[in-house]
Structure 1
Amino acid sequence: MRTQVVIVGAGPAGLLLSHLLGLEGIDSVLLERQTAEYVQARIRAGILEAGTVELLRDVGLGGRLDVEGMEHRGIHLQWPENRHHVDFVDLIGRSVTVYGQTEVTKDLMAAREKAGRPAYYSAADVTLHDVTGKPFVTFVDDSGAARRIDADVVVGCDGFHGPSRASIPAPQVWERTYPFAWLGVLADVAPSTDELIYAWHPDGFAMHSMRSPRVSRFYLQVDPDEDIARWSDDRIWTALSERLGVAGWTLRTGPITEKSVLPMRSFVATPMRYGNLYLAGDAAHIVPPTGAKGLNLAVADVSLLASALTASLRGDDELAAAYSETALRRVWRCTHFSWWMTSMLHRHGDDFDAQLQLSQLRRTVTSTAAATELADNYAGLPL
């Protein structure tokens, strides 16, 4: 088989890239090691930047988003006895939208099926060959048959553990592992807040998020090696009530349907292009989820890459040659913002560090300049 672009990884980054290329008449084939059902069911982040929302609408993927997405004007920042709203719309004229990555993936998969773009799920032994020359990818399909796809370009949207980044010899890597993790909880209960709450507390960070008007998402700071079996539902609700509590506010409780411990780390690998191999999304970078940047950064990568590949396959290599450098400027900006949010809100270090964190929180909610910087980064830089 031959195509113009092989995309390794059919999560939202790979699916969106295939969609964007298809709109420009560029053929692609998607390869994914998991089943379609597994990909569609993965629970991930749910905050879309203004630029992500605009892009999805512009390319015909905004139908359900406009009906089911929940637009938020900003976020709440909190520390004991204090809760303050940071209004992004007032500060910078942009909002964010709560719409789960699971829903984005469903929309992208439906668009792929409608357009008839080829995809191989449950692909095993995916291997990239000759990425600096005439690239091709070999794999074993779900029937056990060995296959080969020749292409002009290979794009790795296959995450941290995929084969794409491993095909780049001696990449330069920057990494930071944080000394805490998140206990993530999904509960069948209506949110107790109109917008997300980010709470600093002496016992550790807490966050109240949401997936829909009927489902809430919560996070608690825990140790990286935390035994999830030690966290009964009662203990979780007690900790959330304590860390999120302010006078006159009540936390609604309900059935907890999911618990997981999420590690916190920052990771950047360069280059994001090697010959005819390009990386996008988690294959090249990972950020802690505090700044809501993971999915949005992947969308920014593939938006940039779709334009670059379209031009390159039509004979103009200028954007493709600059792809890695251009993408990394945004990657490092988002990596810094995610680090800043994480460092400000998570209890670590000694009491001196705690006072520095509280000072930064007070500054952020009382200074228009500081609040504007947060809003500009959180709601997202233009694509």
Structure 2
Amino acid sequence: MLNFEKSKQAFQESSRYLPGGVNSPVRAFKNVGGEPLFIAKGDGAHIFDIDGNRYLDYVLSWGPLILGHADPQVVKDLQAAVARGTSYGAPTILETELAKKIQAIVPSLEMMRMVSSGTEATMSAIRLARGYTHRDKIVKFIGNYHGHSDSLLVDAGSGVATFNDIHEAPGVPEDLAYDTLTVAYNDIEGIKQVFSAHGEEIAGVIVEPIAGNMGVIPGTADFLQTLRTLTSEAGALLIFDEVMSGFRAAFHGAQSLYHITPDLTTLGKVVGGGLPVGVFGGRKEIMKWITPDGPVYHAGTLSGNPLAMTGGLSTLAQLDESLYKQMTARTDELMTGIKGAADAHGVPITVHHVGTMWSYFFNQGPVNNFDDVQKSDVTYFAKFFKALLQHGIYTAPSQFETNFMSSKHTEADIETTIAAFNAAFDDVARTK
């Protein structure tokens, strides 16, 4: 049995100073019980906790670390950048270079603004959509999480689903909820009805084309094409939230898989190479409405800071189609192995994966929306998560989250992980 005593003590101390002992809620292990691991370091595909335990890591800082932990080139480039200063509050060539690199990979971002988080990116995109269209209403989908800004917390997934019903959450004004219309994910008839009733009032539709905050659930091609058609006809903007799926679902993002060009796109995670960063961008005529060119205000002291730009440039420079082919093949192999292990143990399971994103639901399936996700056996998940930890596998500590593959996960790591899943199914069976 692995010993977590130092992590337990660290959590007791942190809880004296931080709400819930953490700076982001899902880290607290509330969904699975017990105390969170406190991490000492990461190396490639592995993390090490302060008790000295080593794990194969499939959380990867919730997605950014597509090159694994402490990639040598990224570390070298960041060390050089730190020596030149951490922030200037003035323009650098790095910002332009990263923007050019992003545009070359995701051409729909004709113009963009760098920010410091995915939440800031989606919040700013919503403000821009409202300012550009002179309308107030936003449409989002139940179970899609777009950060913790007020307008977007209505019917969110991810950590929100783990902790409470946002309709009862204090701090979100009712009038903001009134201007946010929600529809079930992948519900074509539902979104048609909303546009029939409110089309002239809708500023934009924001959607995760590959949902990642209720586990991995791909939008159907018909659903996403319907969004493109309805928004175009109504004069509303289509916003693809690719904070998670960007550089994860595919090299050119989820929009390349569906051959749909959104009006605005938000990015984050991978695009910063592990440093705090976000991006919102799209059609030039829309982005020109952002200050100082236009009247829609956005500012940020650390926006485009040289460390985040360096992390992004160093990471994106190492990505190409062949690397995605390798990572996707390993994700495919892992999913096949997990499904086979569950089937062999008679455990109902549904596995989903797109590119380097993957998740498993203790649910017979199908799983196409948030209602389907909520039918999953979260009690079994909590037991299974703890069993996996004992076998050295670190996955997301919530049924409502996504796991990831990195370029540093080897064929041997995949075999080890599948063996650990088999062993964890045995362990849970013995505790019944």
Confirm or deny a common fold (TM above 0.5).
Answer: no
Structure number with the higher helix fraction is: 2
Using structure 1 for the length normalisation, give the TM-score: 0.29
Using structure 2 for the length normalisation, give the TM-score: 0.27
Structure number with the higher strand fraction is: 1
